[in-house]
Amino acid sequence: MTDILNVKNLSIIRNDHSIIDDLSFDVQKGETLAIIGPNGAGKTTLLRAILGLIQYKGTVTWKRGVKIGYVPQRLFIENDVPLTTKEFFNIKQKDTTKIINVLEAVGLSGKSTELKDTEKHILNNKLGNLSGGELQRVLIAWSLLGDPDILLYDEPTSGVDIAGEETVYTMLEKLKKDRGLTIILISHEIEIVRHFTTTVLCLNKEKVCYGAPQEVITQKTIDKLFGEEVGFYGHNHKF
């Protein structure tokens, strides 16, 4: 397999406090890497660092020519924001056919007359009027414009209920297969990570575990990350 990302000896210090200390890992083409850890562990900071948005020590090396798509953790949009979904997409892509294609990829369009109804609701509606699940899918569709090689998701199910959460992870798996994607995501859902991802990075300012989730996510690891009061739990997800 081919490495798409190499991170070596990454350290981040803010206000004399260590946020991430001497972190190294690789991401291979076709992998789904989950980054897990408690609040304040440095997960979002890590994503920002590998995207080149903040300063760090160490090296971050992307495969030459790689195209990256990114969905942030949260995007709060007030109801009175006048921007429609179509206008939002037009900032990045003017071709309506390509916009419809990515909306279809995330399940926001159907076929025949249903497609027209969905287009009318999603494209012509203000972003602030979309439901939480619709907005989440719109942001994922936005990340697909330009046909990226790798997608970075900062808690893709944040604010989504359990049923919707399962649908989002199932959709991400389908996108990966259909588009030959590599995925890096942050998640708090340990049981979903065990079922969905190929590799997991346990982070609490430093690397606590790294490898296949079935092998490295143990009760001992969970205790070290979150404290002894936290245990395994599941939602009976099927992928």
pLDDT digits (tens, 9 = 90+) for 45-100: 999 999 999 999 999 999 999 999 998 766 667 667 788 999 999 999 999 889 98
User: What are the angstrom distances between the C-alpha of 234 and each of 114, 191, 215?
Assistant: 35, 5, 17
Task: Return the CATH architecture of domain 1-67+151-239.
Answer: 3-Layer(aba) Sandwich (3.40)
Structure confidence by residue, pLDDT tens digits, 86-104: 999 999 999 988 998 999 8
pLDDT tens per residue, range 107-136:
886 443 444 565 668 888 888 888 878 888
Query: Looking at residue 74, what is its pLDDT?
Result: 62
Domain parsing of the chain, residue ranges:
1-67+151-239, 70-147
Mean pLDDT, the chain, rounded, equals: 84
Burial of 103 (0-12, 13-18, 19+ CB in 10 A): buried
- The whole-model pTM stands at 0.85
* Best CA proximity match to 50, nearest among 13, 17, 12: 12
Number of residues written out for the chain: 239
Q: How far apart are CA 138 and CA 154, in angstroms?
A: 15
